[in-house]
Amino acid sequence: MPALNGSLTTSPPDPKPFRGRPSPAHGRGERRESLRDFPRNVRIYLTANFEANLKAVEAFLDAASAPQAYEDLLMELSESVLPNLERFPRLGRPFLNRGPDSAEAATRIERLRARLACLAPDGDIREYITAHYVILYAHIGAEVYLLSIRHHRQLSFDFNQFWPESGVGE
């Protein structure tokens, strides 16, 4: 897998940081005041799960005969997403504020909130949406951990795996 921004890959279990250049807050008046709350020198880490998701996205795009789209994704991550998160780590919308659609989802979200509170009381899981991808990340203090990425056309469920040759789900 090609590296992002030179050395932006991980090897389990310890994620390696993205080493970009911190950007100063720009803005005027009220906007400048709100940017003072953002941490400076945010470090961005890729988790092993994020890296596995990148491989799945690459396989998905190869199967769709769109290998250039994967190269475009790497460029978008390096030139836009990572610098944006480095500068504005609270850019994505809060993921845990979404209303669950089922009892199982509600239980999992509560478990996730409890685990996050134990790990980092000030931590948050956020969702960054681009034109083609959804990225989940954890924002904890001055660190951002990229947790997951999916192309918006990737299926969450493989119905053929659940019901092989039954005709259900086709």
Q: Is residue 10 part of a domain?
A: no
Q: Please, what is the end-to-end C-alpha distance for the chain in angstroms? A: 33
| Cα radius of gyration (the chain) | 18
* Omega within 30 of 0 (cis) for the link into 12: no
Q: What is the largest CA-CA distance in the chain?
A: 63
Q: In this predicted model, what pLDDT tens digit does every residue of 51-71 receive, in sequence order?
A: 999 999 999 999 999 989 999
Q: Is residue 17 part of a domain?
A: no
Measured CA to CA, the distance from residue 87 to residue 123 in angstroms comes to: 17
Q: Is residue 33 part of a domain?
A: no
CATH code, domain with 83: 3.30.2310.20
Q: With pLDDT > 90 as the criterion, what percentage of the chain qualifies? A: 45
Is the pTM for the entire model greater than 0.85? no
* Number of structural domains the chain divides into: 1
Measured CA to CA, the distance from residue 137 to residue 123 in angstroms comes to: 10
**Spatial CB neighbours of 79, under 8 Å, sequence gap ≥ 6:** none
* Span of 67-71, 133-137, 156-160 with lowest mean pLDDT: 156-160
- What pLDDT is attached to residue 147? 93
CB atoms within 10 A of CB 39: 15
Q: Is residue 29 part of a domain?
A: no
Q: Is residue 20 part of a domain?
A: no
Q: Is residue 28 part of a domain?
A: no
- What pLDDT is attached to residue 167? 52
Per the structure, the complete domain to which residue 126 belongs is given by: 39-153
Place of tokens 């890296």: 51
DSSP structural state of residue 95: G
Q: In this predicted model, what pLDDT tens digit does every residue of 1-16 receive, in sequence order?
A: 444 543 343 433 455 5
CA atoms within 13 A on the CB side of 21: 3
Q: In this predicted model, what pLDDT tens digit does every residue of 80-94 receive, in sequence order?
A: 999 999 999 999 999
Measured CA to CA, the distance from residue 89 to residue 92 in angstroms comes to: 8
